[in-house]
Amino acid sequence: MASLTFERFFSGHRKRLEAIYESSGAKTWSVSFDELARAVWEGINAAASVEPGKIPDLLQKIRADELALALACAKGNERAWEAFSFGYRSAIYEAACSFSPDLGVARELSDSLAAELYGVESGEGPRRSKLTYFHGRSSLRTWLRAVVYQKFVDEYRRLSRLEPLPENPEALAAESRAVSEQDEHRYVKLLSEAVSVTLRELPGAEKMLLGFYYVQQLTLKQIGRIRGEHESTVSRQLDAVRKKLRKQIENYLRKVKKLNAYEVDQCFNYVARGVMVDLDAELKKERIPQEGTGGSF
Amino acid sequence: MAVKDDAAEEKALGKIIAGKLREQLQSEPSGCPDVEILSAYFERTLSSSERMVCESHLMTCPRCQLFVAELARLSEADERPVIVAEPEIAVEEETGWRFRLAWVAPVLVILIVGGVWYAEKIRNYIRPPEETTMEEPTPPAREAAKSKDHPLAATPPLTPAEEGTPKAREEQKKQVATAAPPVTAAGPAEGQQPAGSGITIKGAVPEMAPGAAVGGIAAPSERDRLAASAAETRVLQIPAGPRPAEAANRAIAAAPPSATPETARKSGRETQALAKQAVGAKPSALTDYTIQGYTPAYHAKWRVGRGGLIQKYETDRGWIDVPSGVQVDLFDVTFSNASIGWIVGHEGTVLRTTDGGTNWSKVSSPTSEDLVRVSAIGDQKAQVMSRSGRAFVTTDAGRSWKPVNEQ
């Protein structure tokens, strides 16, 4: 199957592209039809090559007005920069402030990014703006937030969210050893194993829901934004997944590890007491995001 | 034996789940999608195949999961604060609502009763000419008929309860057939030019019954009926010269008093036609009804920005600068009406205007945090939100603030 080229895309969807051009206000910013069409193509060519039938749908979702503004800014149009500054500068600053409690760092981050968006001159050629990497697939505001976050992690090595460790974990463990060290270790280890096995068997979507809630510590509302659902729906789904997981853990402990009902209860009891030597070790293994985090240009 | 603590158990199990999930994520993620794809994934604008690919990567990549999670956290800044009603005001509104209800009920009863009574009268008045054998006399005519000198005085005047009844109509038929009674015209209606000036009256619709109207405006149930009848535009020419009633009376008096029933019926119809002409009807309240509206003047365009910048859009001049008196970055602007506006910005800056934005003055601030959103209702009340999501409200034009209760 011949791969889709820009020329074929352009000729096959010219009318739609013209409609997008008219509605985007690109003329106001002195952005030509060809420039806009090429920018759109860059944004959707990967998906369009795989599913050519989805092109009309993809075109409909393009944020043409913001794409036109970004293209004009990348070209150095002063009026476009004025509009960009007043419409989006605060979003950059707010995002920077949310990552760094130090307002000085936040201001430096946002100013530095603003300069990159405006474009720096390189030895190889003319000024190149970071805005050329925006193709209208998402809103400009979300894209800018993503760029700020990436820059923050790249330059300031933000730590991931950590649970505070108990002040004296060994003392806590020693307290429980008085009960029954052997039982405690055994039950906790069994439960840990059961959780690990059942999580692997969970469908990906359910695992991701648990990940956003337990690992990323998002609220139900924030998870709802990602999934396009109301927070009450997310709450019900999370509840259902937790119950399902619990049931599968108990089944594993009973059927695979041959524990009786009392022993299964004991597994959860010891966990509830917060005595988890293994868990402390798990928490110490928390990863810090590496350089070049999630996504690239 | 320890008491089972479900909450603690749930919390501890959550920690285990978190730990195991992290374990199962890739230690060395690769093939991460670019920033734009992750942004588009968050906004759900990817195609179905793109979304599937992105999600399968997200399931195993801790960095991209964190990336999307941060976008979700930041997107909460897009929500505007909602003004929370103060308890005192809420109570006041509640009692005011009950107070209004207390007197609305009896007024409604009066309106309904009056409307039903008057509906009957309207129906009789607006009957088509060929079907009508006798017009119901207008109130002034009825009053005149009650006087001793009136030819109808021989017959006992009709009581209000009898008016409009079949008995009344029969009685009036007899009276017309035997002695064509003069119909006293109502005279020039209020607001009209006096007789003799040759005026044109449109839409002879009777005046409203007091019970059916409030403030001279027809009740909704009456309006449609009246509008329909008002549409039948009857142009009446009141000739210059003697009063219309006198002319009518002369025409009526021309009929022979002892006519046969047939001629009496014919002359009765003619009499009716003349009587109609003679009756000066007041214009309907409906034709004088006006609808008033307004366009809020404060929906002008404003914008704020870095270094204390405030600008207002004027059609002929475009964006013009307005002095703010501050040098800090400003983040949001709103107006509650044409005069009262608010601006918030860096390090708790709050500005207020009372003259439509010409002059801005700093008011007290609830916090030293950056304020990124402001909403306002009325002259005195506003709510602001800090970057960290804390909301504060003032009900005294910014002299004092208090935190909005956490929900």
> Does A137 sit within 8 Å of B45, measured CB to CB?
yes
Average pLDDT per block of 10 residues along chain A, 297 residues long = 80 92 90 94 90 91 94 90 85 85 82 84 67 94 92 68 44 47 78 90 90 91 91 93 92 91 85 55 42 48
Cα B180–chain centre separation: 51
Integer Cα distance of A59 and B120 in angstroms: 64
Which residue stretches of chain B have pLDDT < 50?
Answer: 1-3, 89-93, 131-148, 150-157, 176-177, 179-220, 223, 226-227, 230-261, 263-267, 271-272, 274-299, 406-407
Alpha helices in B240-336, H assignment, sequence order: 244-253, 261-278
Q: Which of residues 350-389 of B touch A (CB under 8 A)?
A: 370, 372, 387
B344 Cα to chain A: minimum distance (Å): 12
> Does B48 sit within 8 Å of A54, measured CB to CB?
yes
Counting Cβ atoms within 10 Å, is residue B149 exposed (0-12), middle (13-18) or buried (19+)?
A: exposed
Among the partner residues B32, B36, B56, nearest to A134 by beta-carbon distance: B36
Helix axes A261-272, A169-201, angle to 10 degrees: 130
Report CA-CA distances (Å) from B179 to B151, B261, B267.
8, 11, 11
> Does B35 sit within 8 Å of A133, measured CB to CB?
yes
Tell me what pLDDT residue B186 has: 38
Tell me what pLDDT residue A274 has: 63
Backbone conformation region of residue A259, classed left if phi is above 0, alpha if psi is from -120 to 50, else beta? beta
Tell me what pLDDT residue A123 has: 57
Among the partner residues B21, B35, B47, nearest to A54 by beta-carbon distance: B47
CA A191, A197, A201, A202: dihedral to nearest 10 degrees?
Answer: 40
Domains and CATH numbers, chain B: 18-78 (no CATH), 96-288 (no CATH), 296-403 (2.120.10.80)
Backbone conformation region of residue B370, classed left if phi is above 0, alpha if psi is from -120 to 50, else beta? beta
Q: Which residues pair with B376 in a beta bridge?
A: B382
Give the chain A residue nearest B76 (alpha carbons).
A222
- Cβ neighbours for B359, distance < 8 A, ≥ 6 positions apart: B353
> What is the domain partition of chain A in residue ranges?
6-156, 169-284
In three-state secondary structure terms, A80 is helix
Which long-range contacts does A211-217 make (Cβ < 8 Å, 24+ apart)?
Answer: A211/B21, A211/B25, A211/B59, A211/B65, A212/B65, A212/B69, A212/B72, A213/A238, A214/B14, A214/B15, A214/B17, A214/B18, A214/B21, A215/B18, A215/B21, A215/B22, A215/B62, A215/B65, A216/A161, A216/B65, A216/B66, A216/B69, A217/A161
A92 Cα to chain B: minimum distance (Å): 11
Give the chain A residue nearest B30 (alpha carbons).
A294
- Asked whether this complex has an ipTM greater than 0.90, the answer is no
Integer Cα distance of A65 and A31 in angstroms: 11
Comparing C-alpha atoms, which of A206, A204, A191, A181 is closest to residue A256?
A191
Integer Cα distance of A108 and A127 in angstroms: 21
Q: Is the distance from CB of A94 to CB of A84 less than 8 angstroms?
A: no
Q: B44 in contact with A at a CB cutoff of 8 Å? A: yes
Tell me what pLDDT residue A240 has: 94
**Radius of gyration of chain A measured on its C-alpha atoms:** 26
Among the partner residues B20, B39, B75, nearest to A196 by beta-carbon distance: B20
Helix or strand (DSSP H, E) at B393: strand B391-394
> Does A223 sit within 8 Å of B72, measured CB to CB?
yes
Q: Is the distance from CB of B219 to CB of B286 less than 8 angstroms?
A: no
Residue at A16: amino acid letter: R
Where b means 16+ CB within 10 Å and e means fewer, B154-179 reads eeeebeeeebbeeebbebbeebbbeb
A271 Cα to chain B: minimum distance (Å): 6
Q: Which residues pair with B341 in a beta bridge?
A: B335, B353
Tell me what pLDDT residue B297 has: 42
Q: Are strands B330-335 and B341-345 parallel, antiparallel or unpaired?
A: antiparallel
Residue at A224: amino acid letter: G
Q: Are strands B371-377 and B381-386 parallel, antiparallel or unpaired?
A: antiparallel
Reported pTM: 0.51
- Residue with token string 């928390």: A286
What would be the CATH architecture of the domain defined by A169-284?
A: Up-down Bundle (1.20)
Mean pLDDT in chain B? 66
